[in-house]
Copies of this chain bind each other. A is one copy, B any other.
Amino acid sequence: MNSFAVTQRTQIKRLPQRGNYDRALIHQILDEGLICHLGFAVNGQPFVIPTAYGRVDDLLYIHGSPASRMLRTLKQGVEVCVTVTLLDGLVLARSAFHHSMNYRSVVVFGQAVVVEEAAEKLAALKAFTEHIIPGRWSEVRPVTAQEVAGTIVLALPLTEASAKVRTGPPSDDDADYELPIWAGELPLRLTSLSPVPDPLLSSEIQLPPSVRQYDR
């Protein structure tokens, strides 16, 4: 299937022309993002926690310490909503009213399940690292069995997922197009600056390919 089925939860009601259920687009947005905002409710009280994630096929993995309240709650099978948002630009209109932002976002609904099997856990841990910085997994000290055991990994199936995308120039009121006011887009990008070596790093150790080639 190249698209996710539209469900009651994923149907885009507000500005439906921005909605998209294309699997490749949804994967691409998830792969470009670095953090998700994970929402869950406890007795009606919502919590929204920023956290790292990884993706393997149609599984979104999150992880953390057994001491994490979030993970202990999710392990119980509560409903979650995971949102990833990429901000692509500011949309400057001729009126304040029509100012907007260009963005690509994905929302995933479902229940996360604990990954128990060591091989899948290891693959998920690799996915986290490679998601943040491709090529890094093979540069670092191999993960130990103790580290795998000491990490909780949860998998959220990508079954109910939708994207929402805005691109392009502002949409002004017809009469405003004649005003002598600048309008357009100010594109935004998440860029990396010069790497800062750990103060405890030997000066003989060179920058690795993963850092030299980093480009999001």
Contacts and interface: CB of A to CB of B under 8 A. Distances in A.
Contact of A133 (B90, B103, B207): B90
A48 B39 contact: yes
A104 to B, nearest CB: 10
Contact of A198 (B85, B170, B205): B170
A35 interface: yes
A189 B194 CA distance: 11
B87 A34 contact: yes
Copies in the complex: 2
A105 interface: yes
Given A96-B129, A195-B186, A37 B46 contact: no
A107 to B, nearest CB: 7
B141 A46 contact: no
Interface size for chain A: under 10, 10 to 19, 20 to 34, or 35 or more residues?
35 or more
B37 A47 contact: no
Contacts of A61: none
Interface in A9-40: 9, 13-14, 34-35, 37-40
Contacts of A13: 69
Interface in A38-89: 38-41, 44-50, 52, 65, 67-70, 78-83, 85, 87, 89
Nearest to A143: B96
Contacts of A208: 181-182
B97 A143 contact: yes
B187 A196 contact: yes
A103 B125 CA distance: 21
B136 A96 contact: yes
13 contacts: A37-B39, A37-B48, A48-B48, A48-B83, A95-B141, A133-B186, A139-B182, A141-B179, A177-B200, A184-B197, A186-B195, A188-B190, A188-B191
